[in-house]
Amino acid sequence: MAARTAITDPYAIYEDPAFDIARKQFAAISQHLNIPADEGDRLLLPKRAITVSVPVHLDDDSTAVFTGYRVQHHLTMGPTKGGTRFAPNLTLGETAALSIWMSWKCALANLPYGGAKGGVCCDPRKLSLRELEGVSRRYMQEMIPFVGPHTDVMGPDMGTGEQVMAWFMDTYSMYVGHSVNAIVTGKPTYLGGSVGRKESTGRGVAFLAERALDVLKIDPTGKTVIVQGFGNVGSIAAASLYYKTQMKITGISDHTCAFYDAKGLPFEKFEKHMESNRDLSNFDGAPRIDPGEMILQPCEVLIPAAVEAVIDGDNAGRLQCRVLAEGANGPTTPAADAILDQRWDEIFVVPDILCNAGGVIVSYFEWVQDLQSLFWNESEVADKLFRILDASFQQVVRRAKAEKISHRLAALAIAVERVRKAKNTRGLFP
Ligand code: NAD
């Protein structure tokens, strides 16, 4: 019998293109901040990575076993915090990458959290509501030993939303014997959710896109926006820029198709369509375009708000936007970054850990409100959110300018420095 070989590379279990992006970004930041390799491993490798089986009875009386993950990146500054993704191709490595980005995002916004991320490898679009409830409850059940309002707080991400968060909260609460609303964020407001949470990520993206246009001295009125992904983040960012800022939405896509009209798309019709449809596949109120071509069209603001690695070494040189506002997590590969670094005076990048931080910031507000059982109104939430985003934006722009580095490197430098200092001050445990 062949002898077993121990896997000595601690990174091997995370092998995945998204993890590769997170690792390469960290290598760049380590070099910039002169972080020694051993300390770098401690900063980058997740504290815990949990894999569980999620067996569920399906509607046809068969049983399916889905795989669930939760990765908690670090517990140095408080509990971990992060979304839950239900997606058919989710991997442990992708989950780990997303947890690492959450850590940097929380640190940049000065939130008392480490990053986490989790999810189930399933296609929620193919599950009935009852099956989705089965997956959600069983996944949370499996996670109970590892989560808690002071250990790890879950939130929504792609493929999950308020209903899934309510099932998570209910499953956890049944286990402990009383209602624990601080176990998840992104719940309905009548279960302890925060007003403005659902809109927070998209509104934050729109706010920062406007701040970037402001730096470029571009008046946004009547200027153009292309948005990839028309879910929570993309649709709300677009709505904010359309209704509040009076910009023109010229491109919209989802995972099924893309639409483009240089004169402006009929935005209200897209919103109306989504009220009664799951996707845009049978929308026929605007001209279609190849989805890959859509993001290459000229515009003032391009918002990738779907999946990772959509801006790569092949298309980064052909982007024609003035502002790249990264609504999605990890939409830009390191190869694309190298090109965008050369194009810094043409394209203003608002990096993901800054651009989409609105979601975790209001999640933090939700958690604080739940722990205190004292709830704020919408203007208090919005005011506090925009103040934190604006402060982070200014710090990033200032640091990038001072050190002649990209906005992404500047954002990561600020975030990694904060986590590093906390780890070095505390010691090895967390
Ligand atoms: P969602 O499930 O509500 O919407 C995702 C959208 O992207 C859908 O319209 C889907 O059809 C589309 N999509 C999927 N694959 C696509 C592809 N290959 N090309 C074009 N469109 C595609 O998810 P969401 O909550 O809006 O999240 C979108 C992104 O924003 C993710 O990267 C997520 O991690 C990130 N994010 C979300 C939040 C949040 O609060 N929801 C916070 C921070 C970051």
Q: What pLDDT digit, counting tens, does each position of 64-95 carry? A: 999 999 999 999 999 999 999 999 999 999 99
Please give the pLDDT value at position 427: 85
State both tokens at 166: 């309510």
From atom 22 of ligand 1, which residue's Cα is the shortest distance away?
255
Per this entry, what is the length of the chain? 430
118 beta partners: 70, 84
Query: Looking at residue 321, what is its pLDDT?
Result: 98
- Cα→Cα distances 369→40, 155, 187, 195, 347, Å: 35, 15, 12, 11, 38
Which two tokens mark 67? 């795989």
Which residues make Cβ contacts (< 8 Å) with residue 139, sequence separation at least 6?
52, 54, 66, 68, 84, 118, 120, 168
**Measured distance CA(140)–CA(270) in Å, rounded:** 34
Residue whose CA is at the smallest distance from ligand 1 atom 37: 157
Decide if domain 198-357 falls under CATH 3.30.70.120: no
- Distances in whole angstroms, Cα of residue 411 to Cα of each of 44, 111, 141, 376: 16, 15, 36, 29
DSSP 325: E
CATH superfamily of 45-191: Leucine Dehydrogenase, chain A, domain 1 (3.40.50.10860)
Contact by Cβ (8 Å): 255, 279: yes
Query: Is pTM, for the whole model, over 0.75?
Result: yes
* Ligand 1 close to Cβ of residue 99 (< 6 A): no
Measured in degrees and rounded to the nearest 5, phi and psi for residue 54 equal: -120, 85
d(CA 211, ligand 1 centre) in Å: 22
Q: Which residues are catalytic?
A: 117
Query: Residue 155: what pLDDT?
Result: 96
**pLDDT for the residue numbered 4:** 67
Whose C-alpha lies nearest to ligand 1, atom 2?
158
Topology alike, domains 45-191 and 198-357: yes
Distance CA 91, CA 67 (A): 9
What's the pLDDT at 428? 80
Q: In the numeric block, which tokens belong to residue 276? A: 């009664």
What is the C-alpha separation between 32 and 29, in angstroms, rounded? 5
Domain ranges of the chain: 45-191, 198-357
Index of the ligand 1 atom closest to the CA of residue 230 = 9
DSSP E strand stretches across 378-426: none
Q: Which atom of ligand 1 is nearest to the CA of 201?
A: 40
| pLDDT value of residue 416 | 98
Q: Given this model, what pLDDT does residue 3 score? A: 63
CA distance 104 to 420: 11
- SS3 labels along 241-272: HHHHCCCEEEEEECCCCEEECCCCCCHHHHHH
Low-confidence residues of the chain: pLDDT under 50: none
